[in-house]
């Protein structure tokens, strides 16, 4: 399984990087919409929705994305507002993690909230990705910075957790996550953000703000990971799907990105790097 995971990662990573660096924003927006909607498809299944209702909800979210592109004169105010909504949703998600049994059973009536949460996680993350990539100058490099810091934080947390992990972070939601792993991921993510931010052209006067945004984005990525783990525990599922060999579903790969992108996009807009 480890060999399969490595091979899949070696295929996916270059494809993603080439798409970010080479595609114009409108084409990347379309490609990202496809990936994120597959993640939403899996989210809906974890929420207990299948068949025709699942298809209808997916189409409605696609139409929302199309309307956003049609209604915006460039990737500006509407996309910024959507990113802000995404940050607000993830702050509320913290409360859901605190009361993790809410929605664990179908009779709880939480399914509509899970469905709304899917839209509030997927659409703002997609809008944030488009907003970052479409920014000038070097938006493509800034998007690569935002994504690589999440990937680095995930890897850093894994290795630090295995080497030093003793104190559980959220044992009832994700037993393997540790506070030591979180700290290792935080360091890895911030170092990566510094390196790629330098490549993207960050000014020294803005470097401290970049580090602050990167730290918050890493913490947000952990929140996204934990929330997806919550959905899987409620659904009794190990993975969100089986699309990616050795990795599970698409949602398993983008859960941290969903929460980190709105934070990074909003921070970039506020601090101007």
pLDDT digits (tens, 9 = 90+) for 248-267: 789 999 999 999 999 999 99
> Residue 247 — pLDDT band, cuts 50, 70, 90?
low
Query: For residue 133, is pLDDT > 90?
Result: yes
For residue 151, give the nearest of 243, 200, 214 by alpha carbon.
214
Average pLDDT across the chain, whole number: 92
Which of the residue ranges 51-55, 74-78, 223-227 would you say has the lowest mean pLDDT?
74-78
> Which of residues 245 and 136 earns the better pLDDT score?
136
Tokens for 156, please give them. Answer: 């850093």
Query: For residue 145, is pLDDT > 90?
Result: yes
Q: What is the pLDDT of residue 74?
A: 74
Question: 174 by DSSP, 3-state: which?
Answer: strand
Stated length of the chain: 273
Cis peptide before 134 (omega within 30 of 0): no
If you ran DSSP here, which 8-state letter would residue 175 be given? E
Query: For residue 245, is pLDDT > 70?
Result: no
Cis peptide before 87 (omega within 30 of 0): no
Distance CA 41, CA 62 (A): 11
Q: What is the pLDDT of residues 20-47, one digit of tens each?
A: 999 999 999 999 999 999 999 999 999 9
Which of the residue ranges 57-61, 76-80, 103-107 would you say has the lowest mean pLDDT?
103-107
Other beta carbons within 10 Å of 126: 27
Q: What is the pLDDT of residues 180-189, one digit of tens each?
A: 999 999 999 9
> Residue 243 — pLDDT band, cuts 50, 70, 90?
confident
Q: What is the pLDDT of residue 6?
A: 66
Q: What is the pLDDT of residue 47?
A: 92
CA distances from 232 to 47, 98, 235 (A): 9, 16, 5
């Amino acid at each position: 399984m480890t060999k399969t995971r490595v091979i899949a990662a070696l295929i996916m990573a270059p494809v993603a990087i080439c798409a970010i660096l080479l595609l114009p924003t409108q084409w990347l927006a379309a490609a990202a919409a496809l990936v994120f909607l597959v993640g939403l498809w899996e989210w809906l299944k974890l929420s207990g929705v299948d068949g025709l209702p699942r298809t209808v909800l997916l189409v409605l979210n696609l139409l929302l994305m199309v309307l956003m592109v049609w209604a915006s004169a460039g990737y500006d105010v509407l996309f910024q507002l959507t990113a802000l909504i995404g940050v607000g949703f993830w702050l509320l998600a913290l409360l859901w993690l605190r009361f993790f049994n809410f929605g664990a059973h179908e009779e709880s009536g939480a399914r509509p909230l899970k469905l709304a949460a899917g839209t509030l996680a997927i659409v703002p993350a997609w809008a944030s990705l488009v907003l970052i990539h479409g920014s000038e100058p070097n938006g493509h490099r800034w998007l690569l910075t935002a994504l690589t810091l999440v990937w680095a934080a995930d890897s850093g947390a894994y290795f630090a957790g295995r080497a030093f992990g003793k104190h559980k972070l959220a044992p009832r939601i994700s037993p393997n996550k540790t506070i030591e792993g979180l700290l290792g991921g935080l360091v890895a993510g911030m170092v990566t953000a510094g390196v790629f931010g330098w490549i993207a052209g960050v000014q020294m006067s803005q470097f401290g703000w970049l580090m602050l945004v990167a730290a918050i984005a890493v913490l947000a990525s952990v929140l996204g990971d934990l929330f997806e783990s919550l959905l899987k525990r409620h659904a009794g599922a190990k993975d969100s799907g089986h699309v990616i060999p050795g990795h599970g579903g698409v949602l398993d790969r983008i859960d941290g990105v969903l929460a980190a992108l709105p934070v990074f996009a909003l921070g970039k807009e506020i601090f101007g790097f």
